[in-house]
Amino acid sequence: MALMAKQTGYELHAIGIPKTVDNDLNRTDHCPGYGSAHVLWLPALRNTGYDTIAMGDTGPIKLMEIMGRNAGWLSAASVLAKSEPDDPRT
């Protein structure tokens, strides 16, 4: 994009904003992307947990993989968001 702008004589200015879903960038209070991932991940995890419970003994275990790099904030948030002791978010 920068090369094309230079070749056409177009004055282009850009600002890069770091973004991560795991809220683990140094020197930041929070990262864009984490809030959206957090809000969407928790109901998805809860609902798939209820599906697993409904299956009974035919499929008692379900493995879920969640995005993240180093910190594991999304995984931790899923446990902290439990509202009932039997809530399937662990």
Q: What is the DSSP string of 27-40?
A: T-S--TTHHHHHHH
Separation CA 67–CA 46 (nearest Å): 16
Helix (H, G, I), strand (E, B) or coil at 49: helix
Catalytically active residues, by annotation: 22
**82, two tokens:** 């439990």
